Chain A
């Protein structure tokens, strides 16, 4: 219940406020210390852009985050119904899926910092 309320609150917050303009929006430690963009940098701005209907901007801010939303939704569903649908959970959390996620995240870190 608290989780759902928190998610709704966050969605409302990011729909209304533009984190790119705010000084007090949370910052990424990796970016602050090294100047390198971490795999998740731009997620807040991308979220705001998505919630205001600006998919192209969202893609520009963090393509991986936008692309992974369906997978995250599926994982969230499987997590909620882990005991009711144990096979679905086991399928979505099988080794190939996790390894693909890990490789995608690490690859995205290198691509966005050194190739784009």
Chain B
């Protein structure tokens, strides 16, 4: 959709699409010249939430269903982004690029960063856009794989909340089931390790949480194995004595 768009509008769209909350598209005049209603429908079908309109000589009707800003002559990327944030009040940038752009970050309005492979598909038209590498702000949080504990010291304190990795498995479900259905004592130990996973995770000790997570899994397995071994020995015994 961005084919034929100017470098300024393309760069602004690329930057804005680093946030995962809204999709931003650019529509140059060559495409926009046709039927407005059909255009709006197509945009909504593509789930475009914000629109950058380029080289369009008329005003869009007030009831146009997609929030939009016009590219004015002499705009640069930063001016475009500033105006979009001012004129489209729904647009809440996510922390990483909000900081990169020097904007204030409203935590209440963001959604948690999507996890790898869970959606947040970059819009297809984004691929057509060429951005020089020096313009790239830091990557959006969603694009990163599950953060390794080793990365931690490099994190800025203000970004910790947004970039918190996925909680390692606490195995709470399996510990409870193992306690109830298999063998009590290893099950209880597994629950204790589940607690440690959780408390260390919320204390931002991700390495410790991973370690406790593995130990919890080991104790769940111990519980299940003990329960199975016991029954494998005991049930045939009972069967034989009952015959």
Residues of A within 8 A of B (CB): 23-27, 29-30, 32, 38-40, 43, 64-65, 68, 72, 75-76, 79, 82-84, 86-87, 89-90, 92-95, 97-99, 101-102, 105-106, 109
Complex Cα gap A90–B170 (Å): 9
**Chain B interface (Cβ < 8 Å from any Cβ of A):** 112, 115-119, 166-167, 169-170, 172-173, 176-177, 179-181, 183-184, 188, 191-192, 194-195, 197-199, 201-202, 226-227, 230-231, 234-235, 238-239, 242
Given pairs A84-B118, A98-B191, 18 additional interface contacts (CB within 8 A)? A24-B235, A24-B238, A27-B238, A29-B230, A32-B230, A39-B180, A64-B180, A72-B176, A75-B176, A84-B115, A84-B119, A86-B166, A87-B112, A89-B166, A90-B167, A94-B198, A95-B195, A98-B198
A68 touches B176 (CB 8 A): yes
Cβ contact within 8 Å between A83 and B118: yes
**Contact A83-B166, Cβ < 8 Å, known A40-B181, A94-B202, A105-B179:** yes
Contact B198 A95 (CB under 8 A): yes
A68, A90, A97 pick with most chain B CB within 10 angstroms: A90
CA distance A95 to B177 in the complex (A): 18
Cα separation A93 to B191 with both chains bound (whole Å) = 11
CB pair B181–A101 under 8 Å, yes or no, is no
A86 to B177, CA, bound (A): 22
Chain A residue contacts of B116, Cβ below 8 A: 83
Instruction: Name 17 interchain pairs, CB-CB below 8 A, sorted by A.
Output: A24-B235, A27-B231, A29-B183, A29-B226, A30-B184, A39-B179, A39-B180, A76-B173, A90-B201, A93-B172, A93-B198, A98-B170, A98-B191, A98-B195, A101-B176, A102-B195, A105-B191
Expressed in whole angstroms, the minimum distance between the Cβ of B167 and any Cβ of chain A is 5
Total inter-chain residue pairs, C-beta < 8 Å: 104
Separation of A24 and B243 alpha carbons in the complex (Å): 12
Q: Which of B176, B183, B202, B231 contacts A95 (CB 8 A)?
A: B202
Residue of A with least CB distance to B200 = A95
State in angstroms the CA–CA spacing of A30 and B185 once bound together.
9
Q: Are B180 and A43 in contact, CB atoms less than 8 angstroms apart?
A: yes
Chain A residues lying within 8 Å of B195, measured Cβ to Cβ, are: 95, 98-99, 102
Q: How far is the CA of A49 from the CA of B1 in the complex (A)?
A: 61
**B95 CB to closest chain A CB, in angstroms?**
16
- Chain A: which residue is nearest B118 at the CB level? A84
User: Which 10 A/B pairs are nearest by Cβ-Cβ distance?
Assistant: A40-B180, A75-B173, A83-B115, A93-B170, A29-B230, A26-B231, A38-B184, A86-B166, A98-B195, A90-B167
A29 to chain B: closest CB distance in Å?
4
Q: Looking at A68, A75, A109, which has the most chain B CB atoms within 10 Å of its CB?
A: A75
